[in-house]
Amino acid sequence: MSDRPGTDRPILIAPSVLPADFSRLGDAVEALDEAGVDRIQWDVMDGRFVPNLTFGPDVIASCRDRTELLFEAHLMVEDPDPLLHTWVDAGCGLVIVHAETCRHLHRTLGRIKDLGAGAAVALNPSTPPEVVEHVLDLCDMVLVMTVNPGFGGQRYIDTMEPKVATIRRWIIDRGHDCDIEVDGGISPDTVRGPVGAGANVVISGSSMFKDPAGLGHAVDELRRLAEAARA
Ligand code: DX5
pLDDT in tens, 167-176: 999 999 999 9
- 221: closest CA among 210, 208, 230, 205? 208
Note whether residue 214 is domain-resident.
Answer: yes
Taking the C-alpha atoms of residue 169 and residue 191, their distance in angstroms, rounded to an integer, is 19
- Residue 214 gets which letter from DSSP? -
Taking the C-alpha atoms of residue 61 and residue 88, their distance in angstroms, rounded to an integer, is 10
Closest residue to atom 10 of ligand 1, CA basis? 152
Note whether residue 57 is domain-resident.
Answer: yes
CA 1–ligand 1 middle distance (angstroms) = 32
Q: What are phi and psi of 31, to 5 degrees?
A: -65, -40
Write out the catalytic residue numbers: 43, 183
Note whether residue 6 is domain-resident.
Answer: no
Note whether residue 1 is domain-resident.
Answer: no
Mean pLDDT score, 196-212: 97
CB of 124 shorter than 6 A to ligand 1: no
**Which of 2-6, 73-77, 110-114 has the lowest average pLDDT?**
2-6
pLDDT at 7 over 90: no
* Total domain count, the chain: 1
Note whether residue 4 is domain-resident.
Answer: no
Print the domain residue range for 218: 12-228
Closest residue to atom 3 of ligand 1, CA basis? 152
State pTM to two decimals. 0.96
Measuring CA to CA, how many Å separate 227 from each of 7, 9, 45, 87, 230?
A: 9, 11, 31, 31, 5
CB of 187 shorter than 6 A to ligand 1: no
Residue 75 · residue 44 · CB < 8 Å: yes
Domain harbouring 58, CATH code: 3.20.20.70
- Residue of 13, 32, 43 best suited for mutating to test ligand 1, as the one with most atoms within 8 Å of CB: 43
